[in-house]
Structure 1
């Protein structure tokens, strides 16, 4: 069961490493939505680890390219990581339903909005300024 359907026309930004990371994120979210309770905590941890690395990758790009909306974008990353970590505490106590509801109810809309606004703006800025993502 997919709760986020990857659609190139909606999610591709044209920055290969960002696009690949987003595809991995969507895959993990979908795995979590369908996971058995016995596998949920492990996959939730994987999502957090992936999301931390994903955000760090974007934050490095923003800093290296002097992205003007760095503070706002970084604040959004911190907010979502904070939410994930709050739900991790519940999941670690065996309250899987709390984590599952968060993933199913929050992640699809959040990802669509974040990709379409903040990440799209970053990708556009990187392209417009000619920033070389490969070499930084």
Structure 2
């Protein structure tokens, strides 16, 4: 089942690095929603965790390098989600796929809210930053 319908008007933030990472996130989440194979689900969940770690590290780096005022709050949200994902990954890898599926099914709500608020604020900041020429916009 497709969990996140990609909508450019809703999901694009206007910073190429962030937009491509968000599209990849959406693809992984949707593959998790579609697979019925337990071993594929486990593998995809690890892929989602690794992707999300890289995704958040990129955003954290962009925020730190450009002096984003909402850095602490945004980073704390990243840390909270990663902590939760690590915990759920332990459950998934131990065979509790229902626990993992419930988490994955809730990701679209979280993603929409996070992209609409925190990521859009970061994108506005990045586009206005003096270093904006170094970001693909």
Q: Name the TM-score, length of structure 1 as normaliser.
A: 0.94
State the Cα deviation string for residues 67-125 of structure 1 (Å, max 9, x = none): 00000000000000011111011111111111011101x20100000000000000001
Q: Distance in 1 between matches of 2:5 and 2:97?
A: 23
Distance in 1 separating the partners of 2:134 and 2:51:
20
Query: Aligned partners of 1:74 and 1:82: how far apart in 2?
Result: 12
Offset at residue 132 of structure 1 (A): 2.7
Q: CA deviation at 1:5?
A: 0.4
Number of residue equivalences: 134
Q: How does 1:21-60 map to 2 (within 5 A)?
A: 21-35=21-35, 36-60=37-61
User: Cα deviations across residues 24-43 of structure 1 (Å, max 9, x unaligned)?
Assistant: 00000000111222211100
- Map of 1:97 onto structure 2: 98
User: d(CA) in 1 for partners of 2:66 and 2:129?
Assistant: 8
Deviation, structure 1 residue 133: 6.3
Q: Which residue of 2 aligns with 1:131?
A: 131
TM-aligned CA deviation for residue 127 of structure 1: 1.1
Q: Secondary structure at the match of 2:76?
A: helix
Contact 1:61–1:133 (8 Å) recurs in 2? no
Q: Which has the higher contact order (CA 8 A, sep 6+)?
A: 2
Do the aligned partners of 1:65 and 1:126 also contact (CA within 8 Å) in 2?
yes
Contact 1:4 1:108 in 2 (8 A): yes
Aligned to 1:77: 78
CA distance in 2, matches of 1:38, 1:52: 21
- Contact 1:13–1:120 at 8 Å: present in 2 too? yes
TM-score, normalised via structure 2 length: 0.94
Q: Structure 1, unaligned stretches of length 5 or more?
A: none
Residue 95 and residue 123 in structure 1: after superposition, are their counterparts in 2 closer, same or farther (change >3 A)? same
